[in-house]
Amino acid sequence: MTQGISRRARWVAGAALVGCVVAATPAAAATTPTVSCTSATAGLAGKLKKDITAAIANRKGTIAIGLYDRTSKTTCTLRAGTAYDSASVVKVTVLATLLWDAKRNDRYLTDRETTLAKAMITKSDNDATSKLWKQLGMTKIKGFLAAAGMTQTKPGANGYWGLTQITVTDEQKLLKLVTAKNAVLSDNSRAYILKLMGQVVSSQRWGTPYGAGSGIAVHVKNGWLQRSTHGWRVHSVGTFKGGGHDYMITVLTHGNSTMNYGITTIQGVAKVIHKDLAAS
C-alpha cells in the first residue's frame, strides 16, 4: 500500500482471477438484520442501538459491526457472522500467528521478522505480508486460528492472504486476545502487537479511531480492496483504552462505490460509539 491504492487494487483483483472462488451472495433474508446491543450500564445499550442504527441508516453496501467494552460489559453486533474478504485486516492475524508460533518454539523473532512485521502493520506493506504468510504456511496459520477459536476465518488460498474470509465475530475474538491476558498469546506478544498497531502511519489511521477522545490509547489496522463484485471492501479494527473504558470495535463493509465512501460509513459508526461510551 505504500505504492498507492490503485496498485493494491490491481494486485488483489488480479489475484482474485487466478482460480479463486468468490462465495455466492446469500439469498436476501426476509428481514434486514438489525443492530443488537446489551450492557451492564443502564440505558447504554438502547442509546448505542439507536445511534448506530441512525449512523448507517442511509449508507449503501453491506455493513457488519462489533463492539465490546470490558468495563461496562457492553456488546453490540450487526451481521457478526457474515463473511468478508479480509484485505489487509488479516495482517493482525498474520502477526499474531508469527508470535504464537515463536512462543511455541521458545524463540524470539529474528531481525528479519521484526522488520517485516513492522512494515506489514505500520505501513500495511503487502510484500512483507506475503513473505511472512509464505514463511508461516497454511498449517501454522490454521493452527493459530484453531488455538484462538477463530472458527469462522478461512485463509485465502494459493498465497492470496487478502482473500481470507473474516467475520466480525472472529475479529473481535482476536482483539480480545490482543488486549487481555490469555493462554494463546504471551504478554510480550500482546504488547508487541498493540505497539505496532499504535504506530500505524497517519494516512492509515482512519476508521474506528474516528471520534475517540484525546485521552484514549488507540490501536488500529485497516484494510481496503476493490474487486469486480461487491465494489470496495473497506474495513477497520481498533482497540481503545482510557476514560474508564476498555473496548474494541470492528467494522467490515463491502458494496462501497469508492474507498472514501466506505471510510465515511465506518467513521460514522465509530463516532457515535466513542461518544456514547464517553458519556456513560
Question: What one-letter code names the amino acid at 31?
Answer: T
The angle at the Cα of 153, spanning 152 to 155, to the nearest 5 degrees, equals 145
What's the chain's length in residues? 280
pLDDT digits (tens, 9 = 90+) for 205-256: 999 999 999 999 999 999 999 999 999 999 999 999 999 999 999 999 999 9
In this prediction, residue 32 carries a pLDDT of 86
C-alpha distance across the termini of the chain, in Å:
38
- Domain locations along the chain: 5-15+37-279
Question: What is the grid cell recorded at 152?
Answer: 469462522
3 pLDDT higher than 70: no
Global model pTM greater than 0.85: yes
Pick from 27, 48, 54: nearest CA to 36: 48
CB 257 within 8 A of CB 242: no
Q: What is the chain's Cα-based Rg?
A: 18
Whether domain 5-15+37-279 has CATH 3.40.710.10: the reply is yes
In this prediction, residue 30 carries a pLDDT of 54
Question: What one-letter code names the amino acid at 19?
Answer: G
